[in-house]
Amino acid sequence: MLKNKISNIFITLILICFIQSCAPSKLTITEIYKEVNTDYIAFNENDLEYEIRNTPVKFVKEYGEDGNRETLKEIHDIRAKREYRPYYSDIGNLKVKSRSKCNSTYYYEVKFIVDRTEITPYLDSTALKLNYKEYGKENVNFNLNSKMLETRRTVKKMLFFDKDKEWKVLKLLSLNDKIYDHIFGKGFQKCVENKSETTEYLPY
């Protein structure tokens, strides 16, 4: 009887150690900033290798490493050929919610401000009004002489711990888009939405 109790305690301790070892260490605000800002720097520089590393493991398994690289390279080449590529500033006013877990995935919900600058020689008054509507007139500046459009945007993203033990960045999507359930399992997206509604950003 005593032997069985000791055995059960031992198994429980092993399980606790296993679970704790699977959970990633909590990130500091500085580490979170670095991860998210690196994502924007890579986007600015059209960094193909970063985008490959940032791809969720689920997609790599579905399309294969070669298929994933080929798909991302097509997007990379289209961006590279754009006559007027936008420029994004470093992120600012970063806000972070406590680390959460849905299904078996740990993640942080983050919100920040980023400035986008682009030459828009074909921007007309209708398109300008649409920018006013989407970002707020106070966050849009258009120089008629240089055709330079500047917009200040509030962006929400998810920093998640993937199955390859790497932190990766994804856009925080609405519940109508089922891509999260596809990547992380059924019910993930609803879980994220529920936690997002009931948690506040940390007072850093």
Q: What's the CATH code, domain 26-198?
A: 3.10.450
Give pLDDT tens digits for 41-97: 998 899 999 999 999 999 999 999 999 999 999 999 998 988 888 999 899 999 999
Q: 28 near 134, Cβ under 8 Å?
A: no
Give the tokens for residue 124. Answer: 């007309």
Domain boundary assignment for the chain? 26-198
Q: 147 near 183, Cβ under 8 Å?
A: no
Rounded to two decimals, the pTM is: 0.82
State how far the Cα of 177 lies from the Cα of 149, in Å rounded to an integer.
29
For residue 74, give Cα distances in angstroms to 13, 45, 46, 78, 145: 49, 16, 12, 6, 34
Give pLDDT tens digits for 91-133: 999 999 999 999 999 999 999 999 999 999 988 999 999 999 9
Q: Residue 21's pLDDT is what?
A: 45
